[in-house]
Every structure is written in structure tokens, then in C-alpha cells.
Amino acid sequence: MSLLLTGAIIAGACLLRSEYEKVCLKLKTYVIENDKIPASFDGVRIAVLSDLHNKKFGVNNEELYRYLKAAHPDYILSAGDLITKTKPEETGDVAQFVGSLTKLCPVYLGNGNHEIKLRQYDVPGLGVTAYDRYVRHLQQFGVTVLADETAVIERDGESICVTGLDLGLEHYAKGTHVAMKKGYMEAKLGQAEADKFHILLGHYPNYFPEYAAWGADLVLAGHMHGGTVRLPGVGGLMSPNFEFFPTYDKGLFTRKGSAMVVSPGLGTHSINVRFGDNFPEIPVIVLRKKK
Ligand SMILES: [Fe+2]
């Protein structure tokens, strides 16, 4: 067998495997312990959506809805990129699906780079941007969008904070890490309340040190798509920003009392590949009050 034919067979097998992985949804549970978690939030379940990029699992995303329902979430939070910037005409379907999730529990969305880029597209005849139209659509369903904003979530007289960070697009430069300016987080979001458990929807995980220093107790991130191709013993090969062997590719990371869960996301864009046990995933966070 010629080398060329062997190569073609291997490439074909890898592509088939990728097509298989792209449709196999998984739930993955993470237990997050912190002494700032109030007693009334002990055992609370948070399902995380990220990087859907307009993908549909079944007709009208019925399969994704079924998986989310099976996770028994008390809250659904999004770490961003549920849409794809180049397809603003498809945001209506995404908003409708996300809106349907409010039947399960309250839903809070942070923005990824794709949502932020939607602000550059005007909707002809309406005098609004594609982002404004998307957010209005979501809000009609009762979804809370947190664009550099904080929501206080209460249970039985106790509360935690959830903040969505609109990370400036300059931080998403391809193939390089742009240092975050000192005071950037505080200028965007104000000070985090030190005595409250604080969840940050921070789409780009590479700024975990800055998020933690700001006061995030738990960061929910995405963007990396698990590193696209995962290599045994190594991890993710490449982020969508063409960062090779990214540190924060997927899973749980900790730093000085803060935790970060990086979702491998649900869909793809541009590089339409998932390979090497890089399945679409819904992280399910279980909060535990540290005794
Ligand atoms: Fe992203």
C-alpha cells in the first residue's frame, strides 16, 4: 500500500472519529468547595453552557435540552460563545432555545468574543446591532445577560454573586498572549465583595490569575474547545486563537483558593474538529459549603 493511500485512510478515519465525537454529548460533574458558599447554596447544581456556536443537537436542540434537564440544575450559567459572529441570522434560534431553558431554572449568560463581535453588525432597517437584537430576544424569555454586570442570586435570605465579564477583543489576539493592564478588572466590574462567594463568567481562561486576583472564587470559562485535538498524556493541541498546547485547555484548575472550570464547549467554528476524547460537554458544578 502506498504511503499516500495509508495517509488518506488514516486521515479519513480521524475525520470520521471527529464527526462521531462532535455529536456525543457528555455531562461532567465538578464539586466546588468553599467556606464562602452559604448554607442555603450547599448542594446547589449549576449547569454550564459554552461555545455552542449555533450547533443543534437534534431538532430544535431537543437532545441538549434533555441532557440539561437530566442534570437537574438549579441554575444554568453560560460562559459565552453560544452564537457564531459570522452568522447573526441564526441568533434567533439560539435565543429561542436558551429562552426555553428558563422552564428548567433561572438562566444567566456571560459574553464570549463572538457575542461581543455581534456589536459590529447592524441589522438593516431596525437601527440596532445584531447584539442588541439578540439580547432583547433573550430578555423577552426572561434570560439575564450579564455584560460587565453582576447579579445577586438569593436563596433563603443568603446570596452569592454572578458577574459576566465582557473581555475586550484586544485580549483575543491570535497566537500571542496580551497582558491585561493593571486595574482592568476593577475598572470594568468594580471591586468584588470579599465576603461573598463570587462566580465570574470569564470566557477566556488565560486570564485566570487576573480573575482570581480580582476576587473570583469560581471562574466559568470556555473558548478553548478543549484544545481542538487532544493528545494522550499531553492535553489540548491548539486553541481557536492558535495557541499551541494551551495551559488552560479543559477541566478544573485551582489557584490560591480560587477555582476555574474550563468547558470544552459544545460546538465548533472555523476549525470544525473535535478529536481525542474531546466530546461536547456540559459541566455540572455542585457547590459545597466547606465545613
Ligand atoms: Fe471564544
Q: What is the pLDDT of residues 180-226, one digit of tens each?
A: 999 999 999 999 988 999 999 999 999 999 999 999 999 999 999 99
Average pLDDT of 259-285?
92
pLDDT in tens, 36-89: 999 999 999 999 999 999 999 999 999 999 999 999 999 999 999 999 998 888
Give the three cell numbers for residue 51: 461555545
> Ligand 1 center to residue 223 CA distance, Å?
4
d(CA 151, CA 165): 12
| 147 DSSP assignment | S
The chain-wide mean pLDDT, for the chain, equals 93
Q: What is the CATH number of domain 3-289?
A: 3.60.21.10
Name the band, by pLDDT with cuts 50, 70 and 90, for residue 270: confident
Question: Does position 271 have pLDDT exceeding 90, yes or no?
Answer: no
pLDDT of residue 54: 95
- 218 backbone dihedrals φ, ψ, rounded to 5°: -140, 125
Average pLDDT of 250-263?
97
Name the band, by pLDDT with cuts 50, 70 and 90, for residue 108: very high
Per the CB < 8 A criterion, the answer to whether 164 and 176 are in contact is no
One-letter identity of residue 186: E
> Ligand 1 center to residue 17 CA distance, Å?
24
The overall pTM is greater than 0.75: yes
pLDDT of residue 2: 82
> Ligand 1 center to residue 81 CA distance, Å?
5
Average pLDDT of 139-147?
97
Name the band, by pLDDT with cuts 50, 70 and 90, for residue 165: very high
> Ligand 1 center to residue 93 CA distance, Å?
19
